[in-house]
Chains A and B, each alone.
Chain A
Amino acid sequence: GAVVSQHPSRVICKSGTSVKIECRSLDFQATTMFWYRQFPKQSLMLMATSNEGSKATYEQGVEKDKFLINHASLTLSTLTVTSAHPEDSSFYICSARVRSGVSYNEQFFGPGTRLTVL
């Protein structure tokens, strides 16, 4: 159980376009999802915390108008990179926090989305 999926797994786009990444909890409800970015050989960096039905909380230095987060249901959060530029090329990972059962408060991670902006 506790599977998190992401789609797409890999995307290449032209500079200036927008890209949407989906994060789904497949077998549990996730009131809170987290979006991370990871540059090569670096650790994960939290971008924002997404709570179902409310606005996301962004970390310092992360532009909320550029990285739009929507958490419309208990199983789906989306991250849209608007007007993408080459410097946005990175590995984006989501995680979902379990709020019930034996895995209470554990975070489960998606497989990640590799974004390349040309």
Chain B
Amino acid sequence: KNEVEQSPQNLTAQEGEFITINCSYSVGISALHWLQQHPGGGIVSLFMLSSGKKKHGRLIATINIQEKHSSLHITASHPRDSAVYICAVSPQGGSEKLVFGKGTKLTVNP
């Protein structure tokens, strides 16, 4: 079992829909990261959070430390949001290494 599990693996939505991507992890963490990888391959760091909720534009990330669960929400989705969304955690204990989920491929149709 992976230390970081994402669901769903694939998600297809219509433009304008509200999107939720889930991430569960099994280790103690110091932070959780949400990353976006576009078809060209480049990766953008969307959020780093260790508690509560963060919002940036149409993106919202929440984390529940007790339940070891995080969600990434996209409001009013748009075709340009189509990408792979990756959840990664920074384990506790000072390790510098990120542990990655396998990603969620999102396709937003016009």
Contacts and interface: CB of A to CB of B under 8 A. Distances in A.
Contacts of B48: 103, 105-106
How many of chain A's residues touch chain B, expressed as a range?
A: 20 to 34
Nearest to B99: A46
B42 A107 contact: no
Interface SS of B by simple majority: strand
A91 B38 CA distance: 13
A112 B43 contact: yes
A108 B44 CA distance: 7
B90 interface: yes
A93 B35 CA distance: 13
Nearest to A2: B45
Interface in B25-77: 30-31, 33, 35, 40-45, 48
Contact of A93 (B30, B43, B96, B103): B43
Interface string A32-43: 101000100011
Interface of A: 32, 34, 38, 42-44, 46, 49, 91, 93, 95, 97, 103, 105-112, 114
Given A43-B103, A46-B97, 18 more contacts: A32-B96, A43-B86, A43-B102, A91-B41, A93-B41, A93-B43, A97-B96, A103-B48, A105-B48, A105-B90, A106-B45, A107-B33, A108-B45, A109-B35, A109-B43, A109-B45, A110-B43, A111-B43
27 contacts: A32-B96, A34-B97, A38-B41, A43-B86, A43-B100, A43-B101, A43-B102, A46-B97, A49-B97, A93-B41, A103-B48, A105-B30, A105-B48, A105-B90, A106-B33, A106-B45, A107-B45, A107-B98, A108-B45, A109-B35, A109-B43, A111-B40, A111-B41, A111-B43, A112-B40, A112-B42, A112-B43
